[in-house]
């Protein structure tokens, strides 16, 4: 496969080989969250070939590998490390790449104060560590999170998650001590207010109502926030909302924890999404794209919060040497190949294309996002904003049949998060397929 070829559907999807894998998966893998029936043979950048020889554009991969499929620099680092050693009992002994990735994370995250890192294997685990760290450092037990938020599916992280009820259903009781507030989702304001005149009531309500009626502020350890809600719909809050929540945190000595598992590592055009809001968090949680597709999570925190004694928190594989070198190579690629600049340029181009779609098609109710973390929300009509969920699902299916892989988010939104290495031609081709797919879905 040439890297510039495609998308090209050679046999109707899913082809026979793909169907075979889908069937094997359905038989042996626990029911999860699978989407379009597509199985990869190999990939580079934002392109991949499926098992039946079809060539796709992958506008979902940036969520997990901002550097794209099998970035050569990352592959080389993994190969070289694998030749040296695969493990060295990380929680018990020492190796340089584990310390180096922690040092690098402390250097590139916002905050001009000494920091430390807990390394783990996933986003949920990064959030679990932040929950424990917050309780251990403050001696307080309560947390604040937001409706629409996704922080993971382990029992602690799940107590923070409030994106879709299916994620919580049948798992109660949750970890106690989490109060959820509506998020600043201005397109569908929970208070039916207007952003021009609301004065960020959705933030102020924490102090004016919650702290006075149900939640004593002196018992709150931390506020957890995704600076851009991911699973909840790629919702970008106003700068003033994030700043107001941070101010309230400072006033009442509450930690501000930014969950950047989805928004971090360059996708928004800044290394971390919180940098768009002029806020410095006490804790930043990372995962997904940080090791270009290898399992890795990190909780980066103000050193003052560190666990007081050995053994209070640990794990086995956190910062394992393969993930550690992959993360170092990922950061090197972002810095040396100017991927943030490309993300901003391609993000602007992409967003303009989405705005053009909104100008032409009534059912595209909203376009939002930062950099290459973009979304459209489909509605039945613009006045009522009734979510057009079936239309959304049909559009994703049509795109898939035409060689463009996409994922949903929120109730009726489609997220676009191609890897940061995407070029102009790939953006334009994706937009073309998207437009045709929406128009076809509307005709039927
Ligand atoms: C913002 C956010 N936090 C946490 C998680 C959980 O990460 P993981 O699936 O690696 O446990 C996710 C996953 O989608 C996420 O988007």
- Helix/strand/coil (H/E/C) assignment for every residue in 47-99: EEEECCCCEEEECCHHHCCCCCECCHHHHHHHHHHHHHCCCCCCCCCCCHHHH
Please give the number of the atom of ligand 1 that sits closest to the Cα of 124: 11
pLDDT tens, position by position, 123-145: 999 999 999 999 999 999 999 99
Residue 377: CATH number of its domain? 3.90.1150.10
Atom of ligand 1 nearest to the CA of 297: 10
245 and 120 together in one domain: yes
Domain count, the chain: 3
The mean pLDDT value for 2-20 works out to 90
Does residue 399 have its Cβ closer than 6 Å to ligand 1?
no
Q: Would residue 24 count as lying in a domain?
A: yes
> Alpha-carbon distance 236 to 226, whole Å?
9
Domain match, 13 and 83 both: no
277 occurs within a structural domain:
yes
Q: Pick the last residue of a domain from 336, 359, 393.
A: 336
Phi, psi (deg, nearest 5) at residue 14 = -75, 140
Range of the domain at 30: 1-58
Report how far Cα 28 is from the mean position of its chain's Cα atoms: 27
Q: Is 51 found in the same domain as 90?
A: no
Residues 285, 346: one domain?
A: no
Rounded to the nearest whole angstrom, what is the distance from the C-alpha of residue 223 to the centroid of ligand 1? 17
Listed range (80-94, 322-336, 340-354) with the worst mean pLDDT: 80-94
- The finding on whether 122 has its CB within 6 A of some atom of ligand 1 is yes
- Determine the average pLDDT of the residues in 298-303: 98
Is the bond leading into 14 cis (omega within 30 degrees of zero)? yes
Same domain, 181 and 144: yes
Q: pLDDT > 90: what percent of the chain?
A: 97
CB of 150 sitting under 6 A from ligand 1: yes
CA–centroid distance, 185 to ligand 1, in Å, is 20
Q: Is the CB of 261 under 6 A from ligand 1?
A: yes
Q: What is the mean pLDDT of residues 337-341?
A: 98
pLDDT at 95 over 80: yes
Let me know: does 58 contact 47? Beta carbons within 8 Å: yes
The answer, yes or no, to whether any atom of ligand 1 lies below 6 A from the CB of 230, is: yes
User: What strand order describes the sheet that includes 40-44?
Assistant: 40-44, 47-50, 55-58, 404-405
Q: Is residue 231 lining ligand 1, measured as CB closer than 6 Å?
A: yes
Residues 185-208: pLDDT tens digits? 999 999 999 999 999 999 999 999
d(CA 371, CA 364): 19
Residue among 386, 385, 404, 387 nearest 396 (CA)? 404
pLDDT average, residue stretch 344-353: 98
Q: Are residues 22 and 4 in the same domain?
A: yes
Inform me whether the pLDDT recorded for 2 exceeds 60.
no
* Nearest protein CA to atom 8 of ligand 1, as residue: 123
Whole-number Å distance, alpha carbon 287 to ligand 1 midpoint, is 7
The string of pLDDT tens digits covering residues 253-295 is 999 999 999 999 999 999 999 999 999 999 999 999 999 999 9
Among 276, 301, 336, where does a domain finish?
A: 336
Q: Point out the ligand 1 atom lying closest to the alpha carbon of residue 229.
A: 1
What's the rounded mean pLDDT across residues 382-404? 98
Asked if residue 69 has pLDDT above 60, the reply is yes
Q: Does ligand 1 come within 6 angstroms of the Cβ of 152?
A: yes
How confident is the prediction for the chain on average, in pLDDT? 97
Provide the angle, in degrees to the nearest 10, between the axes of the packed helices 96-108 and 321-336: 40
State the pLDDT at residue 381.
95
Residue 1 is predicted with a pLDDT of 47
Domain check: are 348 and 391 in the same one? yes
Answer whether residue 80 is part of any domain.
yes
CA of 65 from ligand 1 middle (Å) equals: 14
Residues 331 and 349 in one domain: no
Residue nearest to atom 13 of ligand 1 (CA): 152
Whether 203 is in a domain gets the answer: yes
Whether residues 137 and 264 fall in one domain: yes
Q: Do 159 and 11 share a structural domain?
A: no
Distances (CA, A) of 40 to 18, 43, 197, 220, 395: 8, 7, 49, 45, 21
CATH number of the domain to which 127 belongs = 3.40.640.10
| Whether residue 18 has its Cβ less than 6 Å from ligand 1 | no
Per the domain annotation, does 63 fall within a domain? no
Query: Are 228 and 128 members of one domain?
Result: yes
91 lies in some domain: yes
Q: What is the DSSP letter of 170?
A: T
Cα of 213 vs centre of ligand 1, distance in Å, is 32
Q: Output phi, psi for 364, to 5 deg.
A: -85, 100
**Cα 153 to averaged position of ligand 1 atoms, centre (Å):** 8
Quick check: is 158 in a domain? yes
Is residue 126 lining ligand 1, measured as CB closer than 6 Å?
Answer: no
Q: Is the CB of 264 under 6 A from ligand 1?
A: no
Q: What's the chain's length in residues? A: 444
Enter the pTM of the model.
Answer: 0.97
Query: 109 and 17, same structural domain?
Result: no
Residue 347 has pLDDT above 60, yes or no: yes
pLDDT at 3: 63
Is residue 64 domain-resident?
A: no
Q: Which ligand 1 atom lies nearest to the CA of residue 123?
A: 7
């Amino acid at each position: 496969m040439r890297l510039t070829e495609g998308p090209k559907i050679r046999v109707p999807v899913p082809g026979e080989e793909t169907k075979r894998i889908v069937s094997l998966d359905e038989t042996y893998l626990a029911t999860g969250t699978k989407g379009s029936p597509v199985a990869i043979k190999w990939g580079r950048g934002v392109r991949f070939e499926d098992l039946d020889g079809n060539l796709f554009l992958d506008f979902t991969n940036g969520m997990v590998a901002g550097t794209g499929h099998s970035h050569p620099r990352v592959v080389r680092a993994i190969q070289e490390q694998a030749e040296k050693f695969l493990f060295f009992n990380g929680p018990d002994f020492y190796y340089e790449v584990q310390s180096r990735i922690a040092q690098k994370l402390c250097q590139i995250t916002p905050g001009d104060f000494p920091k430390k890192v807990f390394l783990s294997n996933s986003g949920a685990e990064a959030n679990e560590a932040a929950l424990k760290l917050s309780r251990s450092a403050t001696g307080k037990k309560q947390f604040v999170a937001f409706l629409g938020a996704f922080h993971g599916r382990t029992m602690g992280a799940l107590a923070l998650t409030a994106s879709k009820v299916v994620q919580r259903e049948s798992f109660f009781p949750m970890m106690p001590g989490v109060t959820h507030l509506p998020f600043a989702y201005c397109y569908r304001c929970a208070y039916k207010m207007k952003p021009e005149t609301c004065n960020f009531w959705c933030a102020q309500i924490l102090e004016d109502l919650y702290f006075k009626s149900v939640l004593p502020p002196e018992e709150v350890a931390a506020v957890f926030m995704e600076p851009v809600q991911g699973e909840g719909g790629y919702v970008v809050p106003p700068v003033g909302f994030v700043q107001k929540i941070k101010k309230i945190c400072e006033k009442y000595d509450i930690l501000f924890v930014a969950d950047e598992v989805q928004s971090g590592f360059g996708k928004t055009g800044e290394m971390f999404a919180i940098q768009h809001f002029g806020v410095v968090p006490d804790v930043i949680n990372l995962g997904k794209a940080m090791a270009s597709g290898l399992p890795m999570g990190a909780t980066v925190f103000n050193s003052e919060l560190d666990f007081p004694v050995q053994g209070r928190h640990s794990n086995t594989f956190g910062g394992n040497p393969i993930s550690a070198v992959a993360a170092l190579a990922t950061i090197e690629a972002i810095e040396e190949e100017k991927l943030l600049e490309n993300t901003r340029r391609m993000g602007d181009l992409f967003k303009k294309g989405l705005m053009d779609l909104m100008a032409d098609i009534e059912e595209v109710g909203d376009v939002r996002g930062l950099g290459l973390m973009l979304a459209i929300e489909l509605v039945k009509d613009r006045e009522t904003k009734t979510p057009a969920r079936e239309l959304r699902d049909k559009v994703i299916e049509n795109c898939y049949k035409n060689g463009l892989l996409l994922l949903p988010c929120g109730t009726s939104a489609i997220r676009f998060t191609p890897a940061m290495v995407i070029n102009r031609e790939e953006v334009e081709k994706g937009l073309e397929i998207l437009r045709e797919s929406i128009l076809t879905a509307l005709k039927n």
